[in-house]
Structure 1
Amino acid sequence: MRPLVVKVTCGADEPERANQGLTVAATALSAGADVSLWLTGEAAWLGVAGREGFSLPHAAPAADLVAAVAAGGRVTVCTQCAARREIGEADLLPGVRIAGAAAFVEEALAADAQALVY
């Protein structure tokens, strides 16, 4: 199975779209894919301890989906997005890192990788 890179660009501001991206990432992971989840824009808050959730009827909680991907794949908060929100490494959930565009491009352009943006 080829690697999947999922970039979620929204959070509680657009919970339905954010949840779609998180669900795809977690589902791909459970299917055996190598998954990298990128949290950008307002989605950056989903990687911060104590700020990771929003409620959406008939959907798995965002915090559970992020935790699942962090446990079996990779979760990254965008460097610029973190800086604009004054999010530091110490603020992040376990298994979440901060990295920039060069790391995203490297993952998205890897052999056989599929990138999706929500």
Structure 2
Amino acid sequence: MHGSASGVPGGLPAEGRMDAPTPRTSERSALRDIATTDDHESIVAAVQAGDWGDCDAWVFMLDEANAPEQVPALLPTLPMPCVDGLGPTDRFQIAIRPVNAIWRLLFATASMGGHAPLP
């Protein structure tokens, strides 16, 4: 952009870091995936159009607002195959990032054929 270039960000930044509690509960959340077939197909079709490998999509509706500091404890409890087998002390990191940083990472990942940089 504007004649500049930069490296692909890798790893999780220290800024906005929200470490999940350890040990975490191994109980699953009572939340259920409420994605309709149309929701699922529209999300997955958009990702698969770029031939980025395996992907899936879920929609969870909370009963009440969830504060950002509650997200790291909630995510590994959701009924999603990507967190199956995640134990109470397994590594799981999350950081609050501004939208422009998320788009930068997504664009950089897409520019490399869909493979995210490893930390």
Q: Same fold (TM over 0.5)?
A: no
Bigger-Rg structure (1/2): 2
More strand by share: 1
User: Normalized against structure 2, the TM-score is what?
Assistant: 0.27
More helix by share: 1
- Higher RCO (Cα < 8 Å, 6 or more apart): 2
